Chains A and B, each alone.
Chain A
Amino acid sequence: MARYLIARLGQALIVIVLVTVIAFVILHLLPGGAARATLGKEATLAQLAAFNHEMGYDRPLIQQYGMYVQRLLQGDLGYSYQLNQSVLEAIEQRLPKTMLLSLLSTLVAVVLAIPLGVLQAIRRNRWPDYAITALSLLAYATPIFFLGLMMIIVFSQVWPILPPEAPQGFTVAELLADPAGLVLPTATLAIVTIAVYARYVRSSMIDNLNENYVRTARSKGLSERRVVLRHTLRNGLFPVITLLGMYLPALFSGALVVESLFNFPGMGQLFWQAALKRDFPILLGVTVIISIATVVGALVADLLYAAVDPRVRLRGSAT
């Protein structure tokens, strides 16, 4: 187990280093200088040069990367000239919003997806299965910005019971103080996510229902209800843990759109605005933070999974 842990940690580290390299290379392929994008059309050549010097953009790329890593190791993500804020501060400010949104919507999605998936697995290829499949795929097929807009039109314009924007505070307490504002954005993000989890629960449950131990349980005369709930569900849900870890980046992509629509300036919004303005420190910082979160998430999920299910431990060591 210790060896597995060390190997897994090593992998995680390599992944994070790779992420910084990929992000760095892509960013420096962006046409047009950060300087012109930041300082605007009125900036003089001298001002542009001064900016490039201040931000270190006049140095060779490899040296810039070295300096970035060096500062990163000291926990310094740099300073965003455009926001007039340190990257860490900007991320600290936005992270609670996106985390809350992601957490709430995942919670809602998982809570709804599990019973749906189980029902589908039990009633496989009968009308409940078809109906749920059709509906969840319909939700999945709807572009999230279209769905969000429809929610706003229906629930805050035509039938105005909910506000068209998310709460405006920056701390979790402030956000939770206005639960009405959270309903539409959470629901929008949750609806498209349900399909993914329900499909996963369904296939995992089907696999497990066919496992030997389930057949044994059945042959022992246990009721189907007991078989499903006591034996299969537990094992069928383990893979969902892995999915939760893996799904984080996709969630951020969705959050980007939801944030823009519901006036909820979180991480996705931060990244988008930075991309529009060539705000390199923010782009790098957000990418690094999200990938660390994802890698750590995946690691925790794997370890949990391995701790829970010995079969995986064996499979894991083959990686």
Chain B
Amino acid sequence: MSTLSEAVGPAEPNDTPPRGLWRQGLIVFCENRLALVGLGLFVLLAAVCFLGPLVYQTDQVHTDLTAVYRAPGEQGHLLGTDGVGYDQLGRLMLGGQTSIIVGLAAGVLATIVGTLLGAIAGFFGGWVDAAVMRLVDAMMSIPSLFLFMLLAAIVTPSAPMLILIIGAFAWLGPARLVRGEALTLRSREYVQAMRGMGGTGGRAVRRHIIPNAIGTVIVNATFQVADAILYVAYLSFLGLGIPPPAANWGGMLSDGLADTYSGHWWLLYPPGIAIILIVLAFNFIGDGLRDAFEVRLRRR
């Protein structure tokens, strides 16, 4: 397990308000073929998961022990059934909804918390900065999976709980990045000037630091989403995932591990591929976004 989001160096901030650059960024993003592939993948997967059940209706509430381990195609089950008789394709759709929602929500939550704390720390400096950053350092030096494991043991894992748990600990990366941004920004002339004119600190954070750091933040958030989906998978592997009948791709994959040698390939590979695709999609998108925000690099 790794945190790719950490590896993304902060993009240098733009001094000018980034109006005209949005369009330029969009062009750069579109030029990046992998990014487009990523976006396409995400839209496709989301459509299948959220709209698919309207077309392909299955009972994901009641088990049916008379119809377990049906092979794909048998009796209308396109991807077969699992060990308690749930239709596997329908379950993949249901699980995908959870995975995507948990990933997005946890990623966004982590980013919001991290951005706020990072901006505050960076802008105010002094003991506020010291306090926040030492907390970040301390939590970062404990492996995140360890923290998630302990927390998942304290609360009953459910989708909202997992969002909170992952969100509560994944904010460290964004906090650090945004703080770095804020630190450089606060020495810039326009912020200094604003303070000189009696502007409040909060206003400076809101009006200048956050908007300027937004590129870094959005890029990072994309990677956070991907990481959150992986974290749910790891927790499921460790037995701390969401209990049935709820489903998520990570949980389905780790359940499928037990069926590795059983010949029931449809229980292992489809969730495995689905999870790889969605994580890949978010990473491609994030990569493209970063290029787009670093557009100034190509402007020289």
Residues of A within 8 A of B (CB): 11, 14-16, 18-19, 22-23, 26-27, 29-31, 125, 130, 133-134, 137-138, 140-146, 149, 153, 157, 192-193, 195-197, 199-200, 203-204, 206-207, 210, 239, 243, 246-247, 249-254, 256-257, 271-272, 275, 283, 286-287, 290-291, 294-295, 298, 318
Query: Using a CB-CB cutoff of 8 Å, which residues 130-171 of chain B contact chain A?
Result: 134-135, 137-147, 149-151, 153-154
Residue of A nearest to B271 (CB): A146
Q: In the assembly, what is the distance between CA of A256 and CA of B279, in Å?
A: 21
Is B141 a contact of A19 with CB atoms below 8 Å? yes
CB distance from A118 to the nearest CB of B (A): 16
Is A250 a contact of B9 with CB atoms below 8 Å? no
Residue of A nearest to B129 (CB): A319
Range class of the B interface residue count: 35 or more
Q: Which residues of B contact A149 (CB under 8 A)?
A: 257, 260
Q: In the assembly, what is the distance between CA of A14 and CA of B141, in Å?
A: 12
B88-110 interface bits toward A, Cβ cutoff 8 Å, 1 = contact, 0 = none: 00000000000000000000000
Most chain B C-beta atoms within 10 Å of own C-beta, residue among A31, A146, A203, A298: A146
Is B146 a contact of A253 with CB atoms below 8 Å? yes
Q: In the assembly, what is the distance between CA of A253 and CA of B150, in Å?
A: 13
Residue of A nearest to B147 (CB): A26
Stretch from B13-21, B203-211, B226-234 forming part of the interface with A: B226-234
B81 at interface by CB-CB < 8 Å: no
Q: Which residues of A contact B253 (CB under 8 A)?
A: 143, 146
Is A192 a contact of B1 with CB atoms below 8 Å? yes
Q: Which residues of B contact A16 (CB under 8 A)?
A: 138
CB distance from A139 to the nearest CB of B (A): 10
Query: Using a CB-CB cutoff of 8 Å, which residues 242-300 of chain B contact chain A?
Result: 250, 253-254, 257, 260-261, 272, 275-277, 279-280, 283-284, 287, 291, 297, 300
CB distance from B272 to the nearest CB of A (A): 5
Known: A18-B135, A200-B9, A247-B2. A30 touches B153 (CB 8 A): yes
Q: In the assembly, what is the distance between CA of A182 and CA of B1, in Å?
A: 18
Q: In the assembly, what is the distance between CA of A118 and CA of B3, in Å?
A: 21
Our count of residue pairs bridging A and B at CB distance below 8 angstroms stands at: 171
Is B142 a contact of A275 with CB atoms below 8 Å? no
B238 at interface by CB-CB < 8 Å: yes
Is A30 a contact of B150 with CB atoms below 8 Å? yes
CB distance from B103 to the nearest CB of A (A): 12
Is B142 a contact of A249 with CB atoms below 8 Å? yes
Q: In the assembly, what is the distance between CA of A96 and CA of B82, in Å?
A: 41
14 residue pairs from A and B, CB less than 8 Å apart: A125-B32, A134-B34, A134-B284, A138-B280, A141-B280, A143-B250, A143-B275, A146-B272, A146-B276, A249-B141, A256-B238, A291-B141, A294-B140, A318-B183
Q: In the assembly, what is the distance between CA of A144 and CA of B3, in Å?
A: 13
Residue of B nearest to A290 (CB): B143
Q: In the assembly, what is the distance between CA of A118 and CA of B257, in Å?
A: 37
Q: In the assembly, what is the distance between CA of A283 and CA of B142, in Å?
A: 11
Is A18 a contact of B234 with CB atoms below 8 Å? no
Q: In the assembly, what is the distance between CA of A91 and CA of B291, in Å?
A: 44
Q: Which residues of B contact A195 (CB under 8 A)?
A: 2, 4
With beta carbons under 8 angstroms apart, the residue of A142, A199, A252, A256 that contacts B276 is A142
With beta carbons under 8 angstroms apart, the residue of B8, B33, B297 that contacts A199 is B8
With beta carbons under 8 angstroms apart, the residue of B32, B150, B261, B275 that contacts A283 is B150
Q: In the assembly, what is the distance between CA of A253 and CA of B230, in Å?
A: 12
CB distance from B126 to the nearest CB of A (A): 12
CB distance from A249 to the nearest CB of B (A): 4
CB distance from B130 to the nearest CB of A (A): 8
Q: In the assembly, what is the distance between CA of A18 and CA of B226, in Å?
A: 29
Is A192 a contact of B2 with CB atoms below 8 Å? yes
Q: In the assembly, what is the distance between CA of A9 and CA of B110, in Å?
A: 29
CB distance from B239 to the nearest CB of A (A): 8
Name the prevailing secondary structure of the A interface residues.
helix
B124 at interface by CB-CB < 8 Å: no
CB distance from A105 to the nearest CB of B (A): 11
With beta carbons under 8 angstroms apart, the residue of B7, B279, B300 that contacts A141 is B279
B110-135 interface bits toward A, Cβ cutoff 8 Å, 1 = contact, 0 = none: 00000000000000000000000011
Q: In the assembly, what is the distance between CA of A146 and CA of B277, in Å?
A: 14
Q: In the assembly, what is the distance between CA of A286 and CA of B141, in Å?
A: 12
Is A15 a contact of B138 with CB atoms below 8 Å? yes
Is A291 a contact of B142 with CB atoms below 8 Å? yes
Is B134 a contact of A14 with CB atoms below 8 Å? yes
Known: A18-B135, A19-B142. A145 touches B183 (CB 8 A): no
Q: Which residues of A contact B140 (CB under 8 A)?
A: 246, 249, 294
With beta carbons under 8 angstroms apart, the residue of A22, A31, A145, A283 that contacts B138 is A22
CB distance from A102 to the nearest CB of B (A): 12
Is A199 a contact of B34 with CB atoms below 8 Å? no
Q: Which residues of B contact A239 (CB under 8 A)?
A: 9
Is B138 a contact of A199 with CB atoms below 8 Å? no
Is A253 a contact of B1 with CB atoms below 8 Å? yes
Query: Using a CB-CB cutoff of 8 Å, which residues 157-208 of chain B contact chain A?
Result: 183
Q: Which residues of B contact A294 (CB under 8 A)?
A: 140-141
Is B134 a contact of A141 with CB atoms below 8 Å? no
Is A22 a contact of B139 with CB atoms below 8 Å? yes
Q: Which residues of B contact A193 (CB under 8 A)?
A: 2
CB distance from B149 to the nearest CB of A (A): 5
Is B143 a contact of A253 with CB atoms below 8 Å? yes
Is B234 a contact of A252 with CB atoms below 8 Å? no
Is B150 a contact of A275 with CB atoms below 8 Å? yes
Q: Which residues of A contact B275 (CB under 8 A)?
A: 141, 143, 146
With beta carbons under 8 angstroms apart, the residue of B34, B279, B300 that contacts A210 is B300
